[in-house]
Amino acid sequence: MENSAPARACGIDFGTSNSTVGWHRPGVDTLIALEDGKITLPSVVFFNLEERRPVYGRLALHEYLEGYEGRLMRSLKSLLGSKLIKHDTSVLGTAMPFKDLLGLFIGELKKRAEHNAGRAFDQVVLGRPVHFVDDDQAADQEAEDTLAEVARKIGFTDVSFQYEPIAAAFDYESTLNREELVLIVDIGGGTSDFSLVRLSPQRRDIAERHDDILATGGVHIGGTDFDKQLSLQGVMPLFGYGSRMKSQAFMPTSLHMNLATWHTINSVYSQKSQLALASMRYDIQDTDGIDRLFKLIEQRAGHWLAMEVEETKIQLTEAQSRHVPLDRIQPGLSVELSRALFESAIDPLLARVRGSVSQLLGTAGVGVEQVDTVFFTGGSSGIPALRQSVAAMLPNAQHVEGNIFGSIGSGLAIEARKRYG
pTM: 0.87
CB 114 within 8 A of CB 120: yes
Q: In whole angstroms, give the CA distance from residue 124 to residue 89.
A: 28
From residue 23, how far is each of 1, 38, 102, 120, 351 by CA, in Å?
16, 15, 22, 12, 37
Give strand pairing partners of 336. Answer: 323
Domains with residue ranges and CATH for the chain: 10-176+403-420 (3.30.420.40), 225-343 (no CATH)
H helical segments located in 187-251:
223-230
Looking at residue 1, its pLDDT comes to 42
Q: In whole angstroms, give the CA distance from residue 51 to residue 143.
A: 33
3-state secondary structure of 199: strand
Q: In whole angstroms, give the CA distance from residue 87 to residue 100.
A: 10
Closest Cα partner for 132 from 145, 120, 123?
A: 145
pLDDT tens over the chain, length 421 residues? 445 689 999 999 999 999 999 999 988 899 999 999 999 999 999 998 888 899 999 999 999 888 888 888 888 898 898 888 888 888 888 899 999 999 999 999 999 999 999 999 999 999 999 888 888 889 999 999 999 999 999 999 999 999 999 999 999 998 999 999 999 999 998 889 999 999 999 988 777 788 899 999 999 999 999 999 999 999 999 999 999 999 999 998 899 999 999 888 988 998 998 898 999 998 999 999 999 999 999 998 999 999 999 999 999 999 999 999 999 999 999 999 999 999 999 999 999 999 999 999 999 999 999 999 999 999 899 999 999 999 999 989 999 988 888 999 999 999 999 999 8
